[in-house]
Amino acid sequence: MTAPRTTADGVLADRYGRVARDLRVSLTDKCNLRCTYCMPAEGLPWLAGPQLLTDAEIVRLVGVAVRRLGVTEVRFTGGEPLIRPGLPGIVSAVAALSPRPRISLTTNGIGLARLAPALRAAGLDRVNVSLDTLDGARFAALTRRDRHADVLAGLAGAAAAGLTPVKINAVLMRGVNDDEAPELLRFALAHGYELRFIEQMPLDAQHGWDRAAMVTADEILAALRTAFDLRPDSAERGAAPAETWLVDGGPARVGVIASVTRPFCGDCDRTRLTADGQVRNCLFATEESDLRGALRAGADDEDLARRWQAAMWGKRAGHGIDDPSFLQPARSMSAIGG
Ligand SMILES: C[S@@+](CC[C@H](N)C(=O)[O-])C[C@H]1O[C@@H](n2cnc3c(N)ncnc32)[C@H](O)[C@@H]1O
Ligand code: SF4
């Protein structure tokens, strides 16, 4: 396969035959929590204002991806995307694109109870809310902020506003919350939320990740099976990162995103745009392509699309976490956009 020369090719392909249709857009690197597996207590050196894409620049780049490059899913993330003041306006501008992409948001849920109706009205389709524990004191220790009640209210507000299916993302850590898998699932089932566990990845700013200490997908499933009957879900997985199981005969499901122990790089359909306008072809990429500079230098949409295609063409076959030569990317999860 040869690299695309023009955007007439119309897709974000790579040399391994994968095509990216799912765009993750980070709206800010800042956050109002300090999850221990993500960032240090003191926070990080945040991007300066002029480094951030403006709302109009974000909409322009998402438009290039949707109208010229075959992107059909747009997920806003961060940092914490709800702290970006222009979020409802960005969502409504993206919802007005043709063809209209599906639009979702990954959030820690703080402020969602208040914002959910406006986001729904703007065109947001769904949310993923991160919740790692049902215990308020544990939550405060894990996130270094006492905001558990806000997250629970955010989940309820999202469901009430119709941002469904509401999904919950949970990361388990050994000796911290790894005893909560069945309880988290019970909670999700009781409220009609879809729970997905994510294996902890080496993307923390403190470089404290330890393969040996990580709670694996197998351990999570074993813990769930002490309380539930899990059967493989026969629904087509496609490029979805979560492997799903039917709980107690279904229709409720639970998912596990085993990025480390069962990598799904061969089916990856992601492309990423950071809050400062860099394209990343993988969470674990060590190189980025600068669209902000090109855009501010006057590049037209055709030129931006070509640069985006070139960035994706160089995507590696896999993340290589298990290779001895693996290098953790310079940016951490919150700065990339998880
Ligand atoms: C980086 S956050 C950004 C959006 C929002 N602040 C949130 O927490 O949902 C996106 C997701 O990445 C997850 N995450 C952060 N650091 C991680 C790590 N080292 N390994 C696995 N997942 C991680 C979080 O739990 C969250 O579900
Ligand atoms: S995981 Fe999300 S909520 Fe937690 S510190 Fe990172 S960006 Fe913030």
Query: Given the structure tokens 């990856």, which residue do they identify?
Result: 268
CA-based nearest residue to 29, from 65, 60, 62, 53: 53
| pTM value surpassing 0.85 | yes
Q: Check pLDDT > 80 for residue 322.
A: no
Both tokens assigned to 75:
């997920």
Q: Tell me the HSE value of 12 on the side-chain side, using a 13 A CA sphere.
A: 30
Question: Which one has a higher pLDDT value, 336 or 118?
Answer: 118
How many Cβ atoms sit within 10 Å of the Cβ of residue 312?
A: 25
The CA distance from 293 to 96, in Å, is 26
Integer Cα distance of 153 and 140 in angstroms: 16
pLDDT, one tens digit per residue, over 100-150 is 999 999 999 999 999 999 999 999 999 999 999 999 999 999 999 999 999
- Mean pLDDT across 235-264: 88
Ligand 1 pocket check for 107: Cβ under 6 Å:
yes
CA–centroid distance, residue 282 to ligand 2 (Å): 19
Asked whether residue 5 carries a pLDDT value surpassing 60, the answer given is: no
Regarding the beta carbon of 333 and ligand 1, being less than 6 Å apart is answered: yes
Lowest-pLDDT range, 162-171, 191-200, 202-211, 224-233?
202-211
- The reply to whether ligand 2 has any atom less than 6 angstroms from the CB of 82 is no
Predicted pLDDT of residue 6:
47
| Backbone phi, psi, residue 140, to 5° | -65, -35
pLDDT digits (tens, 9 = 90+) for 140-192: 999 999 999 999 999 999 999 999 999 999 999 999 999 999 999 999 999 99
Counting ligand 1 atoms within 8 A of each CB, the residue from 27, 34, 106 with the most, and so the one to mutate, is 106
Does the structure show a pLDDT above 80 at 36? yes
pLDDT reported for residue 335: 85
CA-closest residue to ligand 1 atom 11: 338
Contact criterion met (CB below 8 Å) for 112 and 127: yes
The Cα 189–Cα 206 span in angstroms is 34
335 φ/ψ angles, rounded to the nearest 5 degrees: -85, -20
Ligand 1 pocket residue status of 29, Cβ below 6 Å: no
Distance 66 CA to ligand 1 centre (A): 25
Mutating to test ligand 2, I would choose from 28, 38, 168, 200 the residue with most ligand atoms within 8 A of its C-beta, which is 38
Averaged over 302-327, what is the pLDDT?
90
Q: What is the pLDDT of residue 205?
A: 82
Judged against a pLDDT cut of 80, whether residue 9 lies above it is answered with no
Mean pLDDT over the full length of the chain: 93
